[in-house]
Structure 1
């Protein structure tokens, strides 16, 4: 499918005009960034894994009633998505103390929180994506009270579903980031899930070893970043180790029916 002109390039993705009105093509890059782009590397294969993991998760969320911008995967690095007006907020759901909340509140990393906590951050790289309260959001008209309610409800539903999905394959969902957008259909508007859900946007720990399987491997110079992402994909059944293959190129990406794909 032919892309249109690029309309936005972020740290890990590029958005192109889509083939039909109301659509975009989302391209997953191999770039890895941390600390507001102060740390940067290109990790071969990361974009392919994020594309496939996000495809799988978005499809599963649609099945449980969470509306998303995902339409279909086009190839190993591209998705066809709905064009939405991005709400300038990052919605973070936390189940376990890690990262900034541990530092801000003096909680030991790895401690379970009393309950899942939803936080909002204003999307502005120049400001370092600051933590904001609901009063800030409504005062500056970043989102309406109804949109805040919708985002929180969807975020908690996503948390419940993903916690079970990952727990079933021996992974603990520590926290994750979501983004939402406004989709307009005539005079109607609804809030839907946008961006991606992948090890770039989630903290994922092995249940037994507590080993990180996400972008913290890059942030903390632990090495094995792509290997961690690949293990997440393998456990979810997105890739498999094909022992019948004669070459040594590693795991094979598979389709939803379990057959190898290209």
Structure 2
């Protein structure tokens, strides 16, 4: 697989073309950002940790029958993926109250949400990734009714798989966001799954083990990511 020009540089990943028009290379950088990119910092080893963490999770999800764009690791910081026509809608499941839900509704952080909540957000940093609903997504052409239904079903399937995986590592999957795209007419899970895009707490102490450590200035960000990986069996080499 021949790596070609950079097509896009996001906040923490760069996307490269290949000699196959249906395949891309994702390069995980050490960059870390928060608050829609307003705070940025490079953290040593982060690209490697998130690349290998994401590969492990994607393999677990594919083994459970959840279709993803992930194909294989190429190096410590790169992986090969299918090229998706991305849907600009983020799907968020919350198992415990935290983050934006607490700020919006004034509920207590950490209360269990039964059933888990499902939310949609428009992927648009300039507008602060505003919360939307299915009606808005359809009206403005961001996603069809069938696509939204499939995305919701897959998001909850991911919850079933990963809640148990992290529970087995004595952790709580508090919430997470997913992005999807279309490949050959099928909805696939895209982007990445790492501690950058979810909240994970130690089950006993409720210590935060995700990007909230960066957002809140708690320190030990990459050490926490590596500890999460170690508990679920990720081999960082």
Kindly tell me the number of residue pairs found equivalent between the two proteins: 237
Q: Distance in 1 between matches of 2:18 and 2:203?
A: 40
Counterpart for residue 54 of structure 1: 54
Deviation track 1:70-101 (CA, whole Å, cap 9, x = no partner) reads 00000100000000011001111100000000
Q: Distance in 2 between matches of 1:194 and 1:176?
A: 14
Counterpart for residue 11 of structure 1: 11
| Alignment check: 8 A CA contact 1:95 1:113 kept | yes
Deviation track 1:27-85 (CA, whole Å, cap 9, x = no partner) reads 00111100011111000001111001100000110111100000000010000000001
Shift of 1:106: 1.2
Higher radius of gyration, 1 or 2 = 1
Shift of 1:3: 1.5
Counterpart for residue 197 of structure 2: 201
Q: Distance in 2 between matches of 1:212 and 1:5?
A: 38
| Alignment check: 8 A CA contact 1:61 1:158 kept | yes
For structure 1, which runs of at least 5 residues remain unmatched after alignment? 240-252, 255-262
Q: Distance in 2 between matches of 1:99 and 1:147?
A: 27
Q: Distance in 1 between matches of 2:29 and 2:121?
A: 24
Q: RCO (CA 8 Å, sep 6+): is it higher in 1 or 2?
A: 2
Shift of 1:160: 0.7
Shift of 1:17: 0.3
Counterpart for residue 187 of structure 2: 191
Q: TM-score, length-normalised on structure 2?
A: 0.98
1:223 aligns with 2:236: no
Counterpart for residue 242 of structure 1: none
Moved over 6 A (4+): none
Counterpart for residue 214 of structure 1: 210
Deviation track 1:93-141 (CA, whole Å, cap 9, x = no partner) reads 1000000001111110011112111111001111000000111000001
| Alignment check: 8 A CA contact 2:90 2:179 kept | yes
| Alignment check: 8 A CA contact 1:18 1:80 kept | no
RMSD over aligned Cα atoms: 0.9
Shift of 1:238: 1.5
For structure 2, which runs of at least 5 residues remain unmatched after alignment? none
Q: TM-score, length-normalised on structure 1?
A: 0.89
Distance 1:7 1:223, change over 3 A: same
Show the 5 A alignment for 1:63-142: 63-142=63-142
Counterpart for residue 243 of structure 1: none
